[in-house]
Amino acid sequence: MLVVKRIRVRYRLRGCPVEKRAAAERAHEHHARRCPVHQSIGGCVSMTTALEFV
């Protein structure tokens, strides 16, 4: 039986203009509160996200 204990999500934004990065970081900060998957299983599974500009 497979048991999921942890989920790690990495967002890689390629070609994001410097003037838009602050907006992308703000959106990333609110991601967990707005994500239906995180709301459904966030209490049972450790979920982390990372934002990377490429």
Predicted confidence band at 32 (pLDDT cuts at 50, 70, 90)? Answer: confident
- pLDDT, position 42: 84
Q: How far apart are CA 47 and CA 3, in angstroms?
A: 14
When pLDDT is cut at 50, 70 and 90, the band that residue 31 belongs to is confident
pLDDT value of residue 15: 93
How many of the other CB atoms lie within 10 Å of CB of 40?
10
Mean pLDDT of all residues belonging to the chain = 92
Domain ranges in the chain are: 6-53
Look at residue 28 and tell me whether its pLDDT is greater than 90. yes
Count Cβ atoms below 10 Å from residue 45 Cβ, excluding itself.
14
